[in-house]
Amino acid sequence: MTNPEVAILMLCLFIVLVLLGFPIAFTLLAMGVGFGYFAYYSAGSINEFSDIFNNQIFYLLNQNTYSVMENDTLVAIPLFLFMGYVVERANIVNRLFFSLQMAARNLPGSMAIAALITCAVFSTASGIVGAVVTLMGLLAFPAMASANYNKEFASGVICAGGTLGILIPPSIMLIVYAAIAELSPLRLYAAAVFPGLMLAGFYIIYVIIRAKINPMIAPKPKSEDVPSPGEIYLSLLTSFVPLTILIMLVLGSILGGLATPAEAAAMGALGGLILAALYRSLTWQKVKESVFLTAKATAMVCWLFVGSWTFASVFSYLGGHDVIEHWILSLNMAPWQFLVMCQLIIFLLGWPLEWSEILIIFVPIFLPMLGIFDVNPYFFAMLVALNLQTSFLTPPMAMSAYYLKGVLRGQIELMQIFRGIMPYLGIVIFCMLLMYQFPGIALWFPDYLFGEYVP
């Protein structure tokens, strides 16, 4: 029963319910089943009470649930999450931050640089923005505040650095994207390496320039607080190197074709346990906490997939995708105009929504049109991945700001955090423009490793 008007109503109602605060996954599921019952309803089919459940939507829901459970790509998600939670609870990140802080002591804004690098390294091991921002808010913000760093400046560093994990491989967001767009996760990882490093590099450059221009916002450490070179070297050797080696082994095995993302994630989870044991931080309580948090986060992702695939299937069956596609094609846009429109819509959706809803619900609307406009799907994926950084940085629903405010409470006002993250929002947009002008930033490395992409 195709009915495009009902499909558009379904989409608008979903956005309204999300803005009202309803849980995303179960809103998708409820609306998918509710509108799907209408879409698949056959007149005269309900003669008895038992016939109420004689509707194809229930079969679709069952199939979507089974598809999520048997998806090999998604197996990597709980394993990467477990690796991140084990590393977090083993206090490895604490050692890493203070080691980098000592190593960068001669640079302007040394603590901010250390916080950004720690965020980048830890977020690649975790991939959970909330966990990274929360931990760094408890760890780095008090250290910067005690060193008389400007609060807005410090909060912006933590919020922006915490979002890097959804871009820099091994990223959970890229695994989700690969499953949705049916792309190779290996190519996506390779395509994300340089854009991720570029964004992190620009963040660091901005911090150095800002601290150089205005030293008052990031005072240099006192001479008596600086340890000896030998202590710095030993600290880096025992904190930064082991975790970096683990991440590089995981990422290298994927890009080198030696392991699938799921196999590499399993190796990373085991490596996280070994690191925690070497640091004498591995306890039964911490393992239990890591398993519980992994199960909780994985369940959320799986329900998001079940709900979103059901929602998207019903939306498409009602004719919603066709309406949007015909409208876009009727505009007779050039490829660059199509890209600008898509990225602008995703950017605006980042104000009320998180990356998962945008990626699972709205990005698939544009994917079928990439071939029509002759857009490389991996290049488009990297534009989207960069753009999704803004979903955590754009008020009023900048979730990284709320994560940080949640742990700092009365130490800083929400508006101060918003002001602190604005420069990083501009940097993200600048990186998107730069990558559009030079697509090789995203495409050179995957083409070098796996050969030129052929549709």
- At 394, is the secondary structure helix, strand, or coil? coil
132 and 119 in contact (C-beta within 8 Å)?
Answer: yes
Q: What's the pLDDT at 388?
A: 86
For the stretch 411-441, pLDDT in tens is: 888 888 899 999 999 999 999 999 999 999 9
**Torsion angle defined by CA atoms of residues 167, 173, 174 and 175, in that order, rounded to the nearest 10 degrees:** 150
DSSP assignment of 32-80 equals: HHHHHHHHT--TT--SSGGGGG-SHHHHHHHHHHHHHHH-TGGGHHHHH
The three-state secondary structure class of 450 is helix
Give the pLDDT score at 230.
63
Give residues with Cβ within 8 angstroms of 402, minimum separation 6.
414
Q: How confident is the model at residue 269 (pLDDT cuts 50, 70, 90)?
A: confident
Q: What is the DSSP string of 144-158?
A: HHHTT--HHHHHHHH
Mean pLDDT estimate for the chain: 82
Q: Which one, of 394, 378, 284, lies nearest residue 344 by Cα?
A: 394
Q: CA–CA separation, 421 vs 174, rounded Å?
A: 24
Q: Is the pLDDT of residue 285 over 80?
A: yes
User: 380: how many CB neighbours lie within 10 A of its CB?
Assistant: 23
Determine the Cα–Cα distance for residues 196 and 84; give it in Å rounded to an integer: 19
Report the distance separating Cα 1 and Cα 7, nearest Å: 11
**pLDDT (0 to 100) of residue 235:** 65
Interior CA angle at 252 toward 249 and 254, to 5°? Answer: 110
pLDDT tier at 229, thresholds 50, 70, 90: low
> Are 163 and 405 within 8 A, CB to CB?
no
Please say if the pLDDT value at position 401 is more than 70. yes
Question: ω into residue 221 within 30 of 0, thus cis?
Answer: no
Sequence ranges of the domains in the chain: 74-298
> What element of type H or E holds 128?
none
Give the residue carrying structure tokens 């290996």: 186
- Cβ pair 442, 378 in contact under 8 A: yes
Whether residue 238 has pLDDT greater than 80: no
What is the DSSP secondary structure assignment for residue 362, as one 8-state letter? Answer: I
Mean pLDDT calculated for residue range 40-69: 69
Report the share of the chain in percent with pLDDT over 90.
16
Quick one: average pLDDT of 106-117? 88
At residue 225 the predicted structure's pLDDT band, cuts being 50, 70 and 90, is: low
pLDDT tens by residue, 143-191: 888 888 999 999 999 999 988 877 888 777 888 888 888 888 889 989 9
Is the pLDDT at 255 greater than 90? The verdict is no
Pick from 21-25, 159-163, 217-221 the range whose average pLDDT is largest: 159-163
Number of H helices, E strands in the chain: 21, 0
Q: What is the DSSP string of 188-205?
A: HHHHHHHHHHHHHHHHHH
Q: How many residues does the chain have?
A: 455
CB 125 within 8 A of CB 268: yes
| Token reading at 110 | 């040394």
Which pLDDT band, with edges at 50, 70 and 90, does 2 fall under?
low
What Cα–Cα distance (Å) separates residue 334 from each residue in 339, 387, 437? 9, 20, 16
Q: Is the pTM for the entire model greater than 0.85?
A: no
Pair 199, 386: CB distance under 8 Å: yes
Rounded Cα distance between 133 and 155, Å, is: 10
User: What distance in Å separates the CA atoms of residue 349 and residue 343, rounded to the nearest whole number?
Assistant: 10
Lowest mean pLDDT segment, chosen from 337-341, 353-357, 404-408: 353-357
307 is written with which tokens? 């709900």
181 Cβ contact list (under 8 Å, min separation 6): 363, 364, 367, 377, 381
Whole-angstrom distance, CA of residue 392 vs CA of residue 407: 16
Closest CA to 354 of 21, 69, 78: 21
pLDDT at 202: 95
Max CA separation in the chain (angstroms): 84
